[in-house]
Structure 1
């Protein structure tokens, strides 16, 4: 984690959650809102509920949650468990639907490769889907390889297992009351714009931005747009009238572990 310790009375902190095989380098080109602490949460546990608890433990009080791909899915679970803690939500390159049968099969196959010591093959299989039209430049491909190998096989296996515990998030989205921003890459073949229009339609207070030339890794491919969206969201979240917290049994929800 980075930034000064957050308190409920200080500037709203941002809790930032990456996607699969991504780490804090995913956000290296983003200009986060000045004066707001930024806390990075790593994805190292094999359950979406446990990862959501990691996010909630990252700071005290309300915060702005920023998540890409699997990080967005974790954000949906945070919203389900503790909506009163989420002052603002920004999700990008993600999917709020339940897993499909073919996804379970793909995750099992990838896990088998990692278990067999073929993690480098997993990285190469996932690499094209990170970039517009599945066509990265050599420099971009190498940057992704470095980040994925820094994450490593153990975390990759945990992330694959966590994917299997996710569930449909649209109910949690429809009950959200915080301002939200949804960012979509117009050339994202993994999570296409249609996924994000459905998310934005479910969120009562959302703004959608489709970035025509971007793929899946929006913070690398359009850091300017991501930075501007976060500044606007933090301003909206800071102006929001605090809502009374729900009782713990209502806001926390049931564990999916």
Structure 2
């Protein structure tokens, strides 16, 4: 219906003064709000295709109503403010997520979907703000993410001599002015395609998925890459998953995901045996742009469930 959907961009400010860029779509009076959290080095644009589907109720799940959809840039990502390296942690991102909920979704059923680092942020929210999760969250989607065991993240999956050489070169680079003084990796996203496509995307990816991925990472601050690496490699939150018990959870992974392969999804499922688990054949790490329909359908099913059985 005309006038029932809106698209807007706004900015909120956290308690420590960091401004976060927020996008909202869908009917303001929708019965359920979906909060979408993106991954490391990415931004809210990577959730845009899924957000569009959810906002009009075309997520693919029969009877799923349109949702109010909020997506935002993590601190030091996209159009949000940068932050000191000391604040480039999952703990801080989880506190930011809690503030986004407090300021923009103070009431009503809430579904959270986190991709990669966004999924880890959601787990950290459960660890640091368990009562908020228990009282407000009606469903969770964990997309191409992990609950721990990411020590190899610092070497992008490499081991042995290649990993040693990579880390040596990385340490030299990330302390140089060439790294610390740059506002973005490059103004030419196409230059990243040869390296990023095989690392992050699966077989025969849609050209738009490739362009979106490369554009987001090209615009990333170099210090965001190095600053968040320690918190990702230290991430161990198997125990926090228990906070999600008793509410619907959908776990998704691509069969060709090189950063968080299917074994990480199965590790989460071992802790949440009632959760749904979907392995998308031939897909890589960038499921929100590679498998838009499948990801939207599973989040839409959580929306539909939230209408019937909101969080207690």
Shift of 1:25: 1.5
Q: In the superposition, relative to structure 1, how do residues 5 and 185 fare at CA in structure 2: closer, same or farther (>3 Å)?
A: closer
- Whether the 8 Å CA contact 1:17–1:71 is kept in 2: the answer is yes
Contact kept? 1:174, 1:204, Cα under 8 Å: no
2:68 is the counterpart of 1:48: no
1:77 counterpart residue number? 124
Determine if the alignment matches structure 1 residue 23 to structure 2 residue 83. no
Does the 8 A contact of 2:138 with 2:310 survive in 1? Answer: no
Structure 2, unaligned stretches of length 5 or more?
1-21, 58-65, 76-86, 157-165, 180-184
1:4–1:99 distance in 2 versus 1, CA, 3 Å: closer
Quick check: 1:89–1:180 contact (8 Å CA) kept in 2? yes
- TM-align CA RMSD: 3.2
Offset from partner CA, 1:117-176 (integer Å, 9 cap, x none): 25459967555321116x868775444221112233243344334424x43222121342
Match of 1:173 among 241, 258, 264: 241
Closer, same or farther: CA 111–89 of 1 in aligned 2, 3 Å: farther
Match of 1:86 in 2: 137
How much has 1:197 moved relative to structure 2? 1.8
Query: Please, what TM-score do these two structures have when normalized by structure 2?
Result: 0.66
- The whole-number CA distance in structure 1 between the counterparts of 2:33 and 2:172 is 38
Q: Tell me the SS of whatever aligns to 2:98.
A: helix
- For the pair 1:32 / 2:63, whether they are aligned, the reply is no
Structure 1 residues without counterparts, runs of 5 or longer: 244-257
Which of 93, 97, 101 is 2:148 aligned to?
97
The match for 1:130 is: 200
Residue aligning to 1:151: 220
Paired residue secondary structure (2:221): helix
Larger-Rg structure:
2
When the two structures are aligned, how many residues end up with a matched partner? 239
